[in-house]
A and B are shown apart, each in its own frame.
Chain A
Amino acid sequence: MIIAQGVAKVYDNGTQALRNINLTVKQGEVVFILGESGAGKTTFLKLLLGMEKPTAGELIVAGTSLIKPRAGDIRRLRRLTGAVFQDFKLILGRTARENVALSLRILGIGWSDNRRRSKAALAAVGLADKGDNLVETLSWGERQRVALARAVVREPRLLLADEPTGNLDGASVGYVAQMLALAVKGGATLVVATHDSRLIERLPGRVLVLEQGSLKEAPVTGREQAACGQGGIE
Chain B
Amino acid sequence: MFTNLGYFFKEAWNDIVHRPVAILFSLISIALLLFFTAFIFAGGEQLQWLVGQLGQEAAVTVFLQEDVARSQRDSLEEELQQLSGVTTIRFVSKEQALEEMEDILGEHSSELAATAGFNPFLGYFEVGVLPEEGVEVAVQAEKLPGVDSVRDNRQTLERLTRLTLVMRLGAVFALLFVGVVMMITISHIIHLGLMAREEEMEIYRLLGAGPWFAALPFLLQGTLLGFSGGLVSFLAAVVTFPILISKLHSALPFLPLQPGMGVALAVGPVLIATGTIFGLSGSLLAQYQARGK
Partners in one complex: yes
- Closest Cβ of chain A: how far from B208's Cβ, in Å? 3
Residue of A nearest to B14 (CB): A93
Cβ-based interface call for B101 (8 A): no
* Interface-facing stretch out of B2-10, B142-150, B153-161: B2-10
Contact check: which of B4, B200, B202, B203 meets A105 at CB < 8 Å? B4
- Closest Cβ of chain B: how far from A65's Cβ, in Å? 18
Cβ-based interface call for B192 (8 A): no
Do B206 and A89 have beta carbons less than 8 Å apart? yes
> What 1/0 mask marks residues of chain B from 190 to 223 whose CB sits below 8 Å from any chain A CB?
0000000000101111111110010000000000
Contact check: which of B3, B4, B207 meets A103 at CB < 8 Å? B207
In the complex, what residues of A have CB within 8 A of residue B3's CB? 105, 108-111
In the complex, what residues of A have CB within 8 A of residue B4's CB? 105, 108
Cβ-based interface call for A79 (8 A): yes
Do B206 and A83 have beta carbons less than 8 Å apart? yes
Residue of B204, B205, B207 ringed by the most chain A CB atoms within 10 A: B207
How many A-B pairs with Cβ below 8 Å? 44
Contact check: which of B6, B200, B202, B209 meets A106 at CB < 8 Å? B209
Given contacts A106-B213, A111-B6, contact A78 B200 (CB under 8 A): no
Do A78 and B203 have beta carbons less than 8 Å apart? no
Contact check: which of B7, B200, B208 meets A79 at CB < 8 Å? B208
Cβ-based interface call for A81 (8 A): yes
Chain A interface extent, by class = 20 to 34
> What 1/0 mask marks residues of chain A from 52 to 86 whose CB sits below 8 Å from any chain B CB?
00000000000000000000000111111101010
In the complex, what residues of A have CB within 8 A of residue B203's CB? 89-91
- Closest Cβ of chain B: how far from A113's Cβ, in Å? 10
Do B7 and A107 have beta carbons less than 8 Å apart? no
> What 1/0 mask marks residues of chain B from 71 to 99 whose CB sits below 8 Å from any chain A CB?
00000000000000000000000000000
Do A78 and B206 have beta carbons less than 8 Å apart? yes
Contact check: which of B1, B6, B7, B207 meets A78 at CB < 8 Å? B207
Contact check: which of A51, A78, A91 meets B208 at CB < 8 Å? A78
In angstroms, Cα B207 to Cα A77, docked, is 10
Cβ-based interface call for A49 (8 A): yes
Contact check: which of B1, B200, B210 meets A75 at CB < 8 Å? B210
In angstroms, Cα B180 to Cα A229, docked, is 65
Do A105 and B7 have beta carbons less than 8 Å apart? yes
Residue of B nearest to A77 (CB): B208
> What 1/0 mask marks residues of chain A from 20 to 50 whose CB sits below 8 Å from any chain B CB?
0000000000000000000000000000010
In angstroms, Cα B46 to Cα A52, docked, is 64
In angstroms, Cα B203 to Cα A79, docked, is 13
In angstroms, Cα B91 to Cα A109, docked, is 81
Cβ-based interface call for A102 (8 A): yes
- Closest Cβ of chain A: how far from B268's Cβ, in Å? 36
In the complex, what residues of B have CB within 8 A of residue A83's CB? 206-207
In angstroms, Cα B210 to Cα A68, docked, is 19
Residue of B nearest to A50 (CB): B206
Residue of B nearest to A109 (CB): B3
In angstroms, Cα B5 to Cα A111, docked, is 11
In angstroms, Cα B213 to Cα A78, docked, is 14
Within 8 A of B (CB), among A102-158: 102-103, 105-111, 150
In the complex, what residues of B have CB within 8 A of residue A111's CB? 3, 6
In angstroms, Cα B215 to Cα A77, docked, is 21
Do A49 and B206 have beta carbons less than 8 Å apart? yes
- Closest Cβ of chain A: how far from B207's Cβ, in Å? 5
- Closest Cβ of chain A: how far from B258's Cβ, in Å? 49
In angstroms, Cα B7 to Cα A111, docked, is 9
Given contacts A105-B7, A106-B213, contact A75 B206 (CB under 8 A): no
In the complex, what residues of A have CB within 8 A of residue B205's CB? 78
In the complex, what residues of A have CB within 8 A of residue B206's CB? 49, 51, 78, 83, 85, 89
- Closest Cβ of chain B: how far from A8's Cβ, in Å? 23
In the complex, what residues of A have CB within 8 A of residue B7's CB? 105
> What 1/0 mask marks residues of chain B from 1 to 25 whose CB sits below 8 Å from any chain A CB?
1011011000000000000000000
- Closest Cβ of chain B: how far from A110's Cβ, in Å? 6
- Closest Cβ of chain B: how far from A70's Cβ, in Å? 13
In angstroms, Cα B213 to Cα A75, docked, is 12
Residue of B202, B205, B206, B208 ringed by the most chain A CB atoms within 10 A: B208
Residue of B nearest to A107 (CB): B208
The chain B residues found within 8 Å of chain A, CB to CB, are: 1, 3-4, 6-7, 200, 202-210, 213
Closest 7 CB pairs of A and B: A78-B208, A79-B208, A106-B209, A108-B3, A106-B207, A89-B203, A91-B200
Q: Give 7 A-B pairs besides A51-B206, A75-B210, A78-B206 with Cβ atoms closer than 8 angstroms.
A: A75-B208, A78-B205, A102-B204, A106-B208, A108-B1, A111-B3, A150-B207
